Structure formats: structure tokens, C-alpha cells
Amino acid sequence: MPDPTAGPRARYREQVRAEVREHAWSQITEAGASALSLKAIAQRMGMTAPALYRYFASRDELLTELILSAYLDLAETVEAAARAAAESTAESTQESTAAGGDDPARQVRAFAGALRTWAVSAPQRYLLLYGTPVPGYAAPPEATDLARRIAAPVQSAFAARVANETQEGASRTSADPALDLMVRLWTRLHGVLGLELAGHFDTMPVDPAALYAHELDSVLDA
Amino acid sequence: MPDPTAGPRARYREQVRAEVREHAWSQITEAGASALSLKAIAQRMGMTAPALYRYFASRDELLTELILSAYLDLAETVEAAARAAAESTAESTQESTAAGGDDPARQVRAFAGALRTWAVSAPQRYLLLYGTPVPGYAAPPEATDLARRIAAPVQSAFAARVANETQEGASRTSADPALDLMVRLWTRLHGVLGLELAGHFDTMPVDPAALYAHELDSVLDA
DNA sequence: TGTACATCAGTGAACGCGCGTTCACTGATGTAC
DNA sequence: TGTACATCAGTGAACGCGCGTTCACTGATGTAC
């Protein structure tokens, strides 16, 4: 009883699917998400358009897969960064190790750094997730879960931090102070990234990287 | 020597142009900027598509006009708000009148309030200016001027404020402290607006209006 | 006040393009006996 | 080990759609004498 997901045909299928996704990304990079076209991809691959329907049920299915894979990639990227920061803290600082944990601020910094690198390296990919929604297209429910997962490292870092502090709660926006901090970080970082990637700082004497770093600090030092 | 810009034909021209713009906006509102189509507009107006070429040289020219008019509308909106705030301050507070000016913070608050109302009332219009750029379309140079004009009330309010304060300059990002404050306000407000209009808070226990107000305060109280 | 003329709005047909998607089919490839 | 069969990748033609834009043309409307 051979595994149909591991035979040579399945392998080939996965190769072609990957190649389609690759061409799809370069198309999105060059002309935005609304320019995604199965026919154009088929052409670049030296195939006919109907052939792609063996691999993707429709254009929307391909787009959904791209969006989910982008979310997943970002989630894994920021998780790895936060984890690395937590481990290096545990190694170098005896004090915090003795305190039984890691430095939340370091993890948040690692998260923010990874996020910016990820966004700047592929602006259209970032904008696909956090920019203007594609008209007439509704993101699948899994996207919400992944979006939550991306925020998780930050939120738990802030939760650890909040637990160590006396709470005043003067400027709370919601019931959960860790959520509050996470949202505040999220909006501030996105405020810089969104305008930067859209090119709005191009005609101004503004250094987006420095601004980003400042906004990060503004939340951590609050 | 009759004025050709005031005859009945010119008047009619302007009416039709306005109607085209109106339909264009409702099209953008419903399906985003990339869905803007001269043929579809002509159809809704009960005309043939070529007829529209009497009024607009091309689709891109129409789009440019829409973008510029949106910038202009926003500029006038925030200018009016800031002016009203300055005047009402001058009336009610003798102290600040004696000090020869108005309350910068009030003007910035008025600006931010007007901005949010403007953005929320027509999300796609806001996103047309500050969201993901339309692929393959470059904004005209005038857009930059108008963008600067929109920021002007805030920047001058901050300039007035900075002049009254002792400067430490610890967290400067650029050479001009008023510019710094303006950019910080801009990115923080856009961070909230951009994510809100894209629907990213819909599945979270977050109140965008409260968050927006908090971010506004965070810059004013710095 | 009435007529001739120039101006200009709008039509209809057409061009060339690209899109997503369906369908009947050919031919290669892996698999079961 | 070799042959028969089922599976499946890919083709080519086609459908219907919408787009921007050009062009020769009709007919109404304003204007100059």
C-alpha cells in the first residue's frame, strides 16, 4: 500500500506547485496583488493556462495559498527571532536566569527587527497582508489565526513584563494590559512601515529606520 | 469677447465632468482604485465610452484628478478644523490671547479629529492616498505639494510649541524638532487608521476610536 | 430677428488586448498482474 | 521481466467577458453677421 502523497507523481506535483507560487510572487512583487494572473504565470512557465488547473482550483485559491504562506512565513520568522533573543539572554545574563526568565524587552526588540527586515525585503508581500485589502476578496478564517500567532510572542513578552509591574491602568484601551501594549506596538510599527513602503517618506528628510527604532523604544519605555 | 470658460457649454462640460467623478468615486468605494473603469462609468451614465474622452484624456488622467481632489479636500478639511480651533481658543481664553497666540495642542487635536472623520467616512479614499500604491501608476508632482500642505497646520502648531519649550533633543530623528513631532503624529495616527480601515481590528477586542485618541495624546503629552 | 456657419457632444463600429474557466482530447508515466 | 491498464499531465480550441482607445460620422447647440 504505497503512500500516494510520496510517489514520484506527488513529488512532481509539489515541484510544479512551488514553481507556480514562485512566479506568482514575482508577479505580485512587480505589479501588486491585483495583477495576479494564472494565464500570465502559465505563459512564463511555458505552459498553457488550463494546465494550471491541475494544480490550483482557481485564481482565488492560489491567492489564498499565497496569503496564508506569507502569514506563516512571517509567524515563523518572528518566532525564531524572539526565541533566539530569549535564549541568548538566558545564556549571557545570570541575573535574569536567576530570576527564572528572559528579558521581555529583548524579545520584543528582536520581533520588531525581524518584522522590519521581513517587510522591507518584500514590500508587496507585507502590503498584501497589512495594506489595502484586495477588493472583492475575503481572507480565509485561517488568516485570523495566523495573524494572532504572529502577535503571540509580543503579547506573551508583554504579559511577562506586566506581571512584574505595579499596574496603574490610567491609559488602558481594553481589558488586557498586555493586549494593549501589543496593539500599541503593532500600530506604531505599522504606521512607520506602511507609510515607508508606500513611499511617503521619499520626498521628506526622514530616516525610516531611525523612526522605526524610536517608535519601538516609545512603547518599550512607556 | 465672451469668456469661453463661462458659457453654457463650459457649464455643461463641468456638470458632466463632475458626474463622471461622482461615479468614479462610488466605483472606487465599492471595488477599490484598481477597478476604476471608463467603460463602466459611461455605462452607468447611460453613455458610450468614447464620449467620456471628450472630458478626460485617459483613465490615468481621471485617476490623477481624483487623487489630487482627494488631497485637496483633505487639506481644506484639516485646515478648516485647525483654523476653527485656533479661533475658538482665541475667543474663550484671554490668557492665550494675551500671549499673542493660540493653543497648539487644540489645533493638533482638531486636525486629528478631522482626519479620522474624513478617513472613516470614505475608507477607500483614504487608502487611495495612504494605502498600497496603485501598481504602475505614479502620482503627479502636485500630490507631494498637497501632502505637504496637509501636514502644514500640524507642523506650524508644533513649531509654535517647540519655540516655547527648552529643547533637550535627546530623541530627535531629524534636524527639525517640529518636523519630528509631525512625523511621529502622522505615523501613529496612520498606524491606527490603516489597520482599522483594512479591517484588522475586526476580530479583536480593540476600540479603534479610543486607540486613536490615545495615540494622539501620546504625541501631545510627550 | 433670422439665417449661415462653426463648434462640439455623442454614437457605433472596430481593434487588440488580457482575463478566468470549461471541455474533449492526446500522450506519457507509473503500477498491478 | 514483460505486458495491459489506469492514472494523470498537458494541449488546443473555445466561450464570454471587460478593458482602453481610435476613428469616421451624425446631429444638436451656440454664435456671428
Q: In B, residues 129-148, which contact A (CB 8 Å cutoff)?
A: 130-136, 144, 147
Which residue ranges of chain A lie beneath pLDDT 70?
1-4, 90-102, 166-172
pLDDT in tens, B151-194: 999 999 999 888 877 656 556 677 799 999 999 999 999 999 99
**Whole-angstrom distance, CA of residue A177 vs CA of residue A159:** 8
Instruction: Name the helix (H) or strand (E) containing A49.
Output: helix A49-52
Q: What is the pLDDT of residue A54?
A: 97
Mean pLDDT computed over every residue of chain B: 90
A51 touches strand D (CB under 7 A): yes
Q: CA of B170: which chain A residue's CA is closest?
A: A214
The grid coordinates listed for B205 are 477586542
Gyration radius from chain A CA atoms? 21
> Is the pLDDT assigned to residue B220 strictly greater than 90?
yes
State pLDDT tens for residues A46-87. Answer: 999 999 999 999 999 999 999 999 999 999 999 999 999 988
Which among A174, A194, A214 has CB closest to B194?
A194
pLDDT at B60 over 80: yes
> Which letter does DSSP use for residue A133 in this model?
P
Would an 8 Å CB–CB cutoff place B55 in contact with chain A?
Answer: no
Query: What local confidence, expressed as pLDDT, does residue A4 receive?
Result: 57
Which candidate from B133, B173, B195 shows the least CB-CB separation from A207? B173
Cell matching residue A197: 513602503
Higher pLDDT, B5 or A163: A163
d(CA A207, CA A17): 40
Is the pLDDT at B94 greater than 60? The verdict is no
Q: Is nucleic acid strand D under 7 Å from A4's C-beta?
A: yes
CB B175 within 8 A of CB A205: yes
Alpha carbon of A160: minimum distance to chain B alpha carbons (Å): 20
Neighbours of B9 (CB within 10 A): 9
Window 22-41 of A, Cβ < 8 Å to B? 30-32, 34-35
Q: Are A190 and A163 in contact (CB under 8 A)?
A: no
Which of chain A's residues have a Cβ under 8 Å away from the Cβ of B215? 184, 187-188
What angle in degrees, to the nearest 10, is found between the helix axes of B177-197 and B141-163? 120
Q: What is the pLDDT of residue B165?
A: 73
Q: Grid coordinates in use for A91?
A: 545564556
| Spatial contact of B60 and B70, defined as CB atoms under 8 Å apart | no
pLDDT surpassing 80 at residue B6: no
- B9 CB-to-strand D distance under 7 Å: yes
Look at A186 and B179 and tell me if their CB atoms are within 8 Å. no
Q: Residue B222 has what pLDDT?
A: 81
